[in-house]
Amino acid sequence: MSAMIEDKDSTATVYPGSRPGNRKILRSFDFLDFFFRRKVLRKRIPLLASFKVTYRCNLTCGACPYHRKAHEENSHMSWETAITTLQQIKKTGCRIVVFEGGEPFVWKDGPHDFHELIGYAKELFRCVAVTTNGTFSLDVPADVLWVSLDGTKHIHDKLRSNSFDRVWNNLLTTLHPNILVHVTLNKENWHDLNQMADTLRTIPSIKGMTVQLFYPYGQGEDPLALSRQERAAALENVIQLKRKGYPILNSVSRMKAMIGNTWTCHDDILVNVNPDGSISTGCYVKNRGPVHCAECGFTPVAEASGAVDLLPGSLYAGWRIFTGY
């Protein structure tokens, strides 16, 4: 297992148990505590963990490199590995855990299912998020639930294994209090964003949208990376939609900075966990593929880095996403 930043003095404040309705308030104090430790006490503690519980998925999307690894040994985490790893991450001072895949909803180990894993994580962390392809009922007890939607029906079905109708029905019927739609812009769908954004405004359950750019892992996925000119046009379009009042949560300053990737990356705020239980700190792509900083499309990292630099737009974006206010 890779070496990690570990500082027992930087462990997150432990709060007493509380009703679910109080989690947002406690989460706010937890984030303030993080910034106090990071900026005032100069503790180099991470903020967010990308926690891949499995490479298995019920879809075979052309843009994704991870379902191609589902046949590999240790591509699906055991319950014991999962809870041990969560405990290790807690000791680093990390505040947010985002469960990913593959498709995290397919995770199961014997009698333990994904609902139970989220419940265990919530005992340790004030903010537990999930990124899903949206084809399962969105009833998990996560604090934040990102649903991937990559266009209107024709485009999404082309990119994501004909799953649009299932995703759309789940978005229409969910009672989850903090649903966000996440869009990965690529050659096939960036022109489709305006029409999709118009349609999403009609769904009350959706609290907002976040966007990022396709990253070319070079591991068998479709060649969908935007050209330099397309990248600039796509991000300028997102900025205009935000200024027109669409519920896009990315900050304008970070989207502008991502046009040419002219932002400071504080990758030490990231913890990466893979299904085999390996842990590393640093770039999201580290140990998952070749790192090409010039092609980075990971807006969450740009936003989190901006928050660490105390940029108002990034702080506000993070506040809205992770506290639900």
> Can you tell me which residue has the tokens 């879809």?
59
- Residue 17 in this model has a pLDDT that exceeds 90: no
Whether the full predicted model's pTM is greater than 0.95, yes or no, is no
Diameter over CA atoms, the chain: 52
Lowest mean pLDDT among 17-26, 120-129, 161-170: 17-26
State residue 18's pLDDT score: 35
Q: Which residues, listed in sequence order, are joined to residue 41 by a DSSP beta bridge?
A: none
State residue 297's pLDDT score: 94
Q: What is the mean pLDDT of residues 275-292?
A: 90
Are 210 and 184 contacting, i.e. CB atoms less than 8 angstroms apart?
no
CB atoms within 10 A of CB 162: 12
Collapsing DSSP to helix, strand or coil, 14 comes out as coil
Are 171 and 147 contacting, i.e. CB atoms less than 8 angstroms apart?
yes
Structural domains in the chain, CATH included, are: 8-323 (3.20.20.70)
Q: What is the mean pLDDT of residues 223-246?
A: 96
Burial class (CB in 10 A: 0-12, 13-18, 19+), 58: middle
State residue 242's pLDDT score: 97
State residue 324's pLDDT score: 74
CB atoms within 10 A of CB 198: 12
Contacts 24+ apart (CB under 8 A), 263-267: 263/302, 263/305, 263/306, 264/305, 264/309, 265/293, 265/296, 265/301, 265/302, 265/305, 266/304, 266/305, 266/308, 266/309, 267/301, 267/305
Query: 115 is written with which tokens?
Result: 């609902």
Helix residue ranges, H only, the chain:
23-35, 79-92, 114-124, 153-159, 164-173, 193-200, 228-243, 252-259, 299-308, 312-323
Residues 47-94 pLDDT 10s: 999 999 999 999 999 899 899 988 999 999 999 999 999 999 999 999
Are 206 and 178 contacting, i.e. CB atoms less than 8 angstroms apart?
no
Local confidence band at 21 (pLDDT 50, 70, 90 cut-offs) = low
> What does the DSSP assignment read for 218-274?
-SS----PPPHHHHHHHHHHHHHHHHTT--B-S-HHHHHHHHTT-S---GGGEEEE-
State residue 325's pLDDT score: 67
Nearest to 106 by CA among 82, 150, 76, 129: 76
If you average pLDDT over every residue of the chain, what do you get? 91
- Residue 12 in this model has a pLDDT that exceeds 60: no
Nearest to 289 by CA among 216, 203, 233: 216
Lowest mean pLDDT among 5-9, 158-162, 204-208, 256-260: 5-9
